[in-house]
């Protein structure tokens, strides 16, 4: 016999065992339902692409993390590191086959050779949804509403969507005379939640002087209701403008849909520096703010400029599914279960296997997931297995029950059996 190869996975990679995978599947199903209810459609793209295409826009840090190699044909290929770049390439390539506005969702794995010491994985899932080809408040709001419906579908309690607009912020910086330091100022401001106000103020003063720092701090202060905050921001940005108007429109739609309590205008969020150009969104859990945003996104003014001359403005967001799974676990709201089996049909007499299988088929026809234990064993062992699968009941029939024309239905938690004259009665009891 050959030597045993030690079974192991690569550093930064992991297997997903049934309990984790069942939870992930349930979350993906909930998200899918929410996305579809807004008319988003799914697409898929290859995991491997020409490195030139995936890395066209990427900077140093991304490029270093990408899994890139020469394939057997000598092509320079790479594994996708996000779903945005492939989506841009997809929109450019299939422009003629698609219609605009195009609403798509894409839930799939991506790979980055990240530093695993920071608790990051090198293989993880992204769940993106976008509306491309239109630049209106209605499309922006659709993303906000989709986030809200997704969180509700996931059973995530107390989700608050923080909204801001990069344009309003930039107008303000211009008025404050620090437009030339916009990039650095945005970077400092983005850290507010992490480093606190005093340190933010200190860094801003160092960057733009005391007076500008005070103005910026006044601008980014949060905590008020949407209306007053928007009023203050608008005033500090030099008065009404299309960007502040856009925020007002989004809020009006949220009010009309009963979502005004779920959104918050938060002038300090900026979401990175290059990609987003309009409204930006982050989603925090009231009971677990420290976990960070579980769904973020925003508006960009040109998705696919690298691959086409057609201008494609869009808006979208990405659900942090791994972070949400961690959050739900921490909140004790995890729906993780061991399996789908509701009933284990016990194997008492091997000769009765056809009868067991027929009973299982009848239960399945009634929509009850079940399995036949595939070999005769002590009932206590079969019950233990049923509990490991998360089954609530066992169905038992030996020659004695058969002679009496009965099935025993055992409630595994209560450890009590009930006799039923037929499978119809068993099914009724399970449905009741």
Query: Considering only residues 138-177, where is the footprint of a second copy by CB under 8 A?
Result: 138-139, 141-142, 145, 149
CB nearer to a second copy: pick between 74 and 198: 74
Residues 331-370: x where in contact with a second copy by CB under 8 A, - otherwise, as a string: -------xxxx--x--x-----xxxxxx--x--x----xx
DSSP 310-361: S---EEEEEE-HHHHHHHHHHTT-----S-S--EEE--S-GGGHHHHHHHHH
Angle 304-171-312 (CA atoms, 0-180°, nearest 5)?
15
Residue given tokens 């206590």 in the structure block: 380
CA-CA distance, 393 to 414, in Å (whole number)? 10
The reply to whether 111 sits near a second copy by the rule CB under 8 A is yes
Supply 284's token pair.
């925090």
The reply to whether 21 sits near a second copy by the rule CB under 8 A is yes
CB nearer to a second copy: pick between 191 and 385: 385
Angle between helices 226-236 and 242-256 (to 10 degrees): 180
Which of these ranges, 168-176, 254-262, 287-295, 395-403, lies near a second copy under the rule CB under 8 A? 254-262
Supply 180's token pair.
């030339």
Specify whether the CB–CB gap between 246 and 131 falls below 8 A.
no
DSSP category for residue 100: S
Supply the minimum distance, in Å, between the C-beta of residue 33 and a second copy: 9
The reply to whether 130 sits near a second copy by the rule CB under 8 A is no
Judged by CB under 8 A, the chain residues 73 through 102 that form the site for a second copy are 73, 75, 77, 79, 89-90, 92-94, 97-99, 101
DSSP 239-264: S--HHHHHHHHHHHHHHHTT-GGGEE
The reply to whether 43 sits near a second copy by the rule CB under 8 A is yes
The reply to whether 303 sits near a second copy by the rule CB under 8 A is no
Judged by CB under 8 A, the chain residues 283 through 302 that form the site for a second copy are none
The reply to whether 49 sits near a second copy by the rule CB under 8 A is yes
* Residue 430, CA distances (Å) to 78, 216, 296, 395, 425 in order: 51, 62, 42, 11, 9
The reply to whether 423 sits near a second copy by the rule CB under 8 A is no
Among 183, 306, 421, 429, binds a second copy (CB under 8 A): 306
For residue 84, the SS3 value is: helix
CB nearer to a second copy: pick between 332 and 350: 350
CB nearer to a second copy: pick between 2 and 403: 2
């Amino acid at each position: 016999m050959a030597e045993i190869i030690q079974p192991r996975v690569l550093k930064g990679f992991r297997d997903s065992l049934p309990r984790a995978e069942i939870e992930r599947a349930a979350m993906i199903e909930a998200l899918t339902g929410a996305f579809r209810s807004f008319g988003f459609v799914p697409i898929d793209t290859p995991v491997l692409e020409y490195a030139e295409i995936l890395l066209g826009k990427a900077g140093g840090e991304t490029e270093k993390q990408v899994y890139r190699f020469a394939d057997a044909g000598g092509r320079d290929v790479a594994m996708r590191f996000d779903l945005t770049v492939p989506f841009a390439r997809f929109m450019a390539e299939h422009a003629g086959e698609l219609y605009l506005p195009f609403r798509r969702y894409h839930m799939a794995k991506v790979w980055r050779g990240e530093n695993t010491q920071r608790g990051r994985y090198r293989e993880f899932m992204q769940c993106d949804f976008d509306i491309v080809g239109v630049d209106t408040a209605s499309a922006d709001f659709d993303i906000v509403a989709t986030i809200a419906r997704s969180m509700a579908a996931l059973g995530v309690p107390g989700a608050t969507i923080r909204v801001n607009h990069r344009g309003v912020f930039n107008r303000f910086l211009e008025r404050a005379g620090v437009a030339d330091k916009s990039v650095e100022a945005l970077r400092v401001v983005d850290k507010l939640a992490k480093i606190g106000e005093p340190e933010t103020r200190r860094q801003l003063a160092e960057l733009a002087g005391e007076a500008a720092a005070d103005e910026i701090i006044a601008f980014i202060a949060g905590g008020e209701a949407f209306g007053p905050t928007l009023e203050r921001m608008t005033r500090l940005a030099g008065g009404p403008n299309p960007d502040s108007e856009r925020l007002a429109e989004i809020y009006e739609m949220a009010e009309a849909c009963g979502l005004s309590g779920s959104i918050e205008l938060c002038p300090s969020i900026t979401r990175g520096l290059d990609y987003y150009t309009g409204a930006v969104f982050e989603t925090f859990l009231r009971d677990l703010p420290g976990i960070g945003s579980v769904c973020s996104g925003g508006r960009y003014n040109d998705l696919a400029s690298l691959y086409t001359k057609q201008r494609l403005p869009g808006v979208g967001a990405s659900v942090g599914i791994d972070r949400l799974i961690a959050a739900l676990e921490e909140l004790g709201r995890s729906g993780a279960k061991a399996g789908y089996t509701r009933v284990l049909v016990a194997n008492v007499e091997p000769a009765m296997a056809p009868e067991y299988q027929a009973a299982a088929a009848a239960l399945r026809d009634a929509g009850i997931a079940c399995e036949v234990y595939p070999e005769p064993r002590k009932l206590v062992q079969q019950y233990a297995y049923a509990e490991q699968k998360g089954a609530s009941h066992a169905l038992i029939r030996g020659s004695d029950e058969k002679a009496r024309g009965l099935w025993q239905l055992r409630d595994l938690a209560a450890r009590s059996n009930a006799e039923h004259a037929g499978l119809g009665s068993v099914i009724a009891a399970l449905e009741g």
